[in-house]
Amino acid sequence: MSEIRVLSPATVANVVCGFDCLGFALSAPCDEMIVRIIERKIVRIVNRDDFNLPTKPEKNVAGAALLSMLRAIDADFGFEVEITKHIKPGSGIGSSSASAAGAVVAANKLLNERFSRLELVEFAMDGEKVASGDRHADNVAPCIFGGFTLVRSLNPLDVVTLDFPPLFVTIIHPQIEIKTSEARKMLPAQVSLKDAIRQWSNVGALVSGLQKGDYELISRALEDFIVEPVRKILIPKFDEIKNESLKGGALGGGISGSGPSIFMLSETLETAQKIEKVMREIYEQTTIDFNIYVSEINSEGVKFVN
Ligand code: HSE
């Protein structure tokens, strides 16, 4: 095996009430990546898109993740990674995580699956830190494990994979950039006990609703009293998108990761497509370009392709 090609999916982190712990993977969009072993003990980044991302490995999320992996095995070789990004950086749908996770999953295949998925999440978090300034796993975990995940603890790392019923996701990506590192600086350093109680009750209810396939409970649990009120002001038409989507039959939703993307969950594909129309009509009244994706939840995560 001289090279491995993967499709690394976009992800939605936080899932409204689960800041920094809940996330799920999408079927589309995906980044395309090819990883090769090279003789020199370096990581070489080859960007095949127009995003002008850093090529110094320690400043590139895929590069930093691969360096972390090479250090763990004291390798006498290196990796080259070719990246074609389709997930725009700063979109809030896990662009940096897709690069970091795709790189380590592909590299691990070249190393005959030497590392577990949990270990790969650790390496990918070292990449994620380059983009967001923090090691958080709520995007890289679903990208690597697929489906819905809950990061119970970072130290020691504990990732719980969750069962979930059929769910369809509509995501609007307004073409404005919000840097995760900036969006994290806006967050309150402290929260009241009252808000904390409401928040963790909703996380428990959401996990239970997902496991039982109880759509009404899922819908009731999609509330966020801590992060959404602070961050939504950065996203034009946020409240209108949310209110109209709920009227249109969506179960609920909110800011995807640190924004600006907004996601809504629906029980059926028909409703998800109806929500796409609702979102389109609202954003067509603005001068902001946007993309809308309708996707299933991707149970596989990073996928090997020929
Ligand atoms: N949980 C992170 C945040 C996700 O909201 O800052 C960033 O994609």
Q: Which of 131, 146, 127, 6 is nearest to 70 (CA)?
A: 127
Ligand 1 atom at minimal distance to the Cα of residue 255: 5
Q: Mind telling me the catalytic residues? A: 128, 180
Spatial separation of the C-alpha atoms in residues 159 and 22, rounded to whole Å: 10
pLDDT at 192 over 90: yes
The average confidence (pLDDT) of the chain is 96
pLDDT digits (tens, 9 = 90+) for 9-31: 999 999 999 999 999 999 999 99
Q: Which of 16, 19, 96, 129 to mutate to test the pocket of ligand 1 (most atoms within 8 A of CB)?
A: 19
pLDDT at 1 over 80: no
Mean per-residue pLDDT, 75-83: 96
* Residue 13 Cβ < 6 Å to ligand 1: yes
- Confidence band for 87, pLDDT divided at 50, 70 and 90: very high
| Alpha carbon of 94 to ligand 1 centroid (Å) | 8
Q: Based on C-alpha coordinates, what's the Rg of the chain?
A: 19
| Alpha carbon of 216 to ligand 1 centroid (Å) | 26
The two structure tokens encoding residue 88: 């725009």
Mean per-residue pLDDT, 64-92: 95
pLDDT at 91 over 80: yes
| Alpha carbon of 90 to ligand 1 centroid (Å) | 11
46: left (phi over 0), alpha (psi -120 to 50) or beta: beta
* Residue 97 Cβ < 6 Å to ligand 1: no
- Confidence band for 181, pLDDT divided at 50, 70 and 90: confident
* Residue 184 Cβ < 6 Å to ligand 1: yes
- Confidence band for 40, pLDDT divided at 50, 70 and 90: very high
pLDDT digits (tens, 9 = 90+) for 209-221: 999 999 999 999 9
What burial class does residue 15 get, using C-beta atoms within 10 Å of its C-beta: 0-12 exposed, 13-18 middle, 19+ buried? Answer: buried
CB 6 within 8 A of CB 303: yes
Q: Which percentage of the chain shows pLDDT scores above 70? A: 100
CA distances from 63 to 102, 189, 259 (A): 11, 31, 24
How many other C-beta atoms can be found within 10 angstroms of the C-beta atom of residue 60? Answer: 26
State residue 177's pLDDT score: 87
How many other C-beta atoms can be found within 10 angstroms of the C-beta atom of residue 43? Answer: 26
Domains with residue ranges and CATH for the chain: 3-162+299-305 (3.30.230.10), 168-296 (3.30.70.890)
Spatial separation of the C-alpha atoms in residues 68 and 124, rounded to whole Å: 8
Nearest CA to ligand 1 atom 8: 257
pLDDT digits (tens, 9 = 90+) for 134-159: 888 999 999 999 999 999 999 999 99
State residue 306's pLDDT score: 75
- Confidence band for 101, pLDDT divided at 50, 70 and 90: very high
Spatial separation of the C-alpha atoms in residues 204 and 251, rounded to whole Å: 17
Angle of helix 95-110 relative to helix 117-132, nearest 10 degrees, comes to 140
State residue 132's pLDDT score: 83
pLDDT at 113 over 80: yes
Q: Which of 138, 149, 227, 230 to mutate to test the pocket of ligand 1 (most atoms within 8 A of CB)?
A: 138
Ligand 1 atom at minimal distance to the Cα of residue 183: 6
Nearest CA to ligand 1 atom 4: 257
| Alpha carbon of 20 to ligand 1 centroid (Å) | 6
| Alpha carbon of 260 to ligand 1 centroid (Å) | 11
pLDDT digits (tens, 9 = 90+) for 245-292: 999 999 999 999 999 999 999 999 999 999 999 999 999 999 999 999
| Order of strands, sheet of 262-266, starting from the edge strand that comes earlier in the sequence | 252-255, 262-266, 168-174, 290-296
73 three-state secondary structure? coil
Cα angle for residues 62, 67, 73 (degrees, 5° grid): 130
Spatial separation of the C-alpha atoms in residues 62 and 244, rounded to whole Å: 38
Nearest CA to ligand 1 atom 1: 20
Ligand 1 atom at minimal distance to the Cα of residue 256: 8
